[in-house]
Structure 1
Amino acid sequence: MAIWNPWHGCHKISAGCANCYVYRRDESIGKDASVVAKTGDYDLPLKKNRQGEYKLSAEDGIVFACMTSDFFLEDADEWRQGCWDMIRRRQDLHFHIITKRIDRFAQCIPSDWGDGWDNVTLCCTCENQDRTDYRLPIFLSLPIKHREVICEPMLGEINMEKHLSTGLIEHVSCGGESGENARPCDLRWIQEVRRECIRCAVPFTFRQTGAVFIKDGRTYHLDRKLHISQAKKSGYSYIPNMGMADAIKYKLPDRGALFARLSRSDFRNRFHLSAKDKAYVTEKGMETIRSHARDFVEKRLSAENPENDGKQTPMKGHPVFIAQHAAACCCRSCLEKWHNIPSGKVLTEGERSYIVDVLMEWIEREMHL
């Protein structure tokens, strides 16, 4: 990996820019980050050492461009064509261009861009729902071969599943904000985007916690050196069919606390066994119902990424189906939200047994009403 900054300096355009690390760093050395200037590394992709070899070698692989500016900044219009020329020449490198100005892309590409270049990945940043709703439709409409979405700093809950379901986004990463005035990042926001990625089979990376991180309602203030390591330690990054979520450490909820929480949910409280359901349970017996529950959990919930997740459990037709919705055991997303069981992993025998026990306890409670 290498970094190429052909120019330096930028202008803040959205909420994610408020605590920009470039502005913070430049201010610390008495420099104005709003002044955009060409750098001495402008032609880095073509620079060679004394042996006549490129300083950026094929072994560097990915080159991140404009990490202290924006590639599509208006101030850089006169310099950008030269960068495209260098990118075109260096087909042995893969350039990642991160931008908040995806709305300027169409007017900034070279004449031979066509449907995109194989050695360029465009990374569109979306720090909140507002910018997601504005930028991603533009992003997906453009002729780009490789697309990634970056939610850093993540400033609120983001729903992007309709965009992920297009199959046009190759990777999503999320992370919190660093710095003295960092705004908080909530693990729940990270988890929700991760669940959406799992449902759409899109690789996901939890990049960093940020300086102010909320988990289970508790706020943590983390030293800079822990931001990346703690995110990695969480195990929340996900690659389809790699079983990576097995690394996530979690605790199953106390059953008493779980049922108390379920009782406060208007949606979960809609579900009750009918007289017909109760008669069926009485006729078959609890052990048979438990056997049915084990079968449903195994076939509909156990896979790493179950088919039609979120829609695989009927709303009626069997007492266990009713119990699954009432006890939030109907899909992998609900299992993660309510029971802390991570999505993106095959359920263990212990997890399956726990789910069946929860379902049977709910049914037993209903039978005594």
Structure 2
Amino acid sequence: MGADTSIEWTVHSFNPWSGCQAVSPACDHCYAEAQAKRQPKTWGGWGPHAERKRTSESYWRQPLKWNSEARKAGTRPRVFCASMADVFDNAVPAEWRADLWALIAETPHLDWLLLTKRPQNIRPMMIAARRAVLRADVAEDHVTWPWPNVWLGTTVENQAEADRRIPHLLAVPAAKRFLSCEPLLGPVDLQACKAWRDCNIPEYGGPGHEFVSVLHGLDWIIAGGESGPHARPSHPDWFRSLRDQCQAARVPYFHKQNGEWVSVSEVEGAGPHHHFPDGATVRRVGKKAAGASLDGREWREVPESRAVGEERQG
């Protein structure tokens, strides 16, 4: 069963609907918004007042096919849900989200990756998810949360968003929790994130319990530079720092891409330069030439999936 998406860290990509709006600096050069503007009949409008567009019923049946194939093959393919939207977008009709929860419950052999820039909405919408599943009369093991086939993630492009979003993510139990640090627009020190101390997670001791690092509540870090015509440069040391933090905490690190820019010492040639305050210089060489190598190797670490019915152990 081959991948049907160019996104390196997933096997499938599924869009239950399309449409979104900018909420942080990571959204400034959104590829999904650009694609929607090129193909409005396919992807609908964009922005706070744009109508969200639901995909077809035949398209919604694709995950059922993937689930059947995975069951027969004994695999657990990852499905990135809503690359052209945000599952936890307030503008999406609640009925659509209820239909998505039912679909996820019907496909226990798929690991659904729900990535959001609105992690503050996860908890109330998960409560709604449980109610929707109860009404749908699906498998009993999907009535209680966390579901074994749902990975929850949030985008963290800089320290400000790390401090703001990670506590909301950690406040919700999940089979896996992950961060997408793409586009990485600044250094992120996960041990400097202080608000996590207020998280009420029984497996970590409840309110007021001080962890050594927020990485204790995370299962995966994905990082990458920005691509596209207006791509902003990332300092190579920002990637190295995340990688090293993951290595120290034994958390899988996936380096998706360097973006359009790379250190002048790594790729020869001409092109626009960017100088960082510490003296480091990167050159714009294009996404393909910049590649995904970090210090001479590619980092493609992925957490292990849990079998259907296996509970999270922390």
- Which residue in 2 is equivalent to 1:91? 108
- Which residue in 1 is equivalent to 2:202? none
Post-superposition offset of 1:165: 4.9
- Which residue in 1 is equivalent to 2:274? none
How many pairs were matched up? 235
CA contact (8 A) 2:26 2:157 kept: yes
Q: Deviations over 1:263-312 (max 9, x none)?
A: xxxxxxxxxxxxxxxxxxxxxxxxxxxxxxxxxxxxxxxxxxxxxxxxxx
TM-score for the superposition, normalised by structure 1? 0.58
1:4 paired to 2:14: yes
- Following superposition of structure 1 onto structure 2, how do residues 1-369 of structure 1 map, counting pairs within 5 Å? 1-29=11-39, 32-34=45-47, 35=50, 36-40=52-56, 43-45=60-62, 57-58=70-71, 61-76=77-92, 77-109=94-126, 110-111=129-130, 114-161=144-191, 164-214=213-263, 217-227=280-290, 229-231=291-293, 234-235=296-297, 237=299
CA contact (8 A) 2:178 2:220 kept: yes
Q: Deviations over 1:229-254 (max 9, x none)?
A: 343783252759xxxxxxxxxxxxxx
Structure 1 segments (4+ residues) deviating >4 Å:
45-48, 53-60, 162-166
- The whole-number CA distance in structure 2 between the counterparts of 1:25 and 1:166 is 34
- The whole-number CA distance in structure 1 between the counterparts of 2:186 and 2:37 is 27
SS at match of 1:148: strand
Q: Deviations over 1:170-215 (max 9, x none)?
A: 1111110011111111101111111111121111111101113346
CA contact (8 A) 2:256 2:292 kept: no
CA contact (8 A) 2:231 2:259 kept: yes
Give 5+ residue unaligned stretches, structure 1: 241-369
Between the two structures, name the one with larger relative contact order (CA 8 Å, sep ≥ 6).
2
Q: Deviations over 1:77-102 (max 9, x none)?
A: 33001100110111111111111111
Q: Deviations over 1:131-185 (max 9, x none)?
A: 0000111111212221111100000011113675552211111110011111111
TM-score for the superposition, normalised by structure 2? 0.67
Counterpart amino acid of residue 191 in structure 2: E
SS at match of 1:207: strand
- The whole-number CA distance in structure 2 between the counterparts of 1:187 and 1:81 is 41
CA contact (8 A) 2:67 2:107 kept: no
- Which residue in 2 is equivalent to 1:363? none
CA RMSD between the two structures: 2.6
Question: Larger radius of gyration, structure 1 or 2?
Answer: 1
Counterpart amino acid of residue 158 in structure 1: V
Percent identical among aligned pairs is 26
Post-superposition offset of 1:123: 1.6
Post-superposition offset of 1:54: 6.2
Give 5+ residue unaligned stretches, structure 2: 1-10, 131-141, 194-212, 266-279, 303-314
- Which residue in 1 is equivalent to 2:269? none
CA contact (8 A) 2:32 2:84 kept: yes
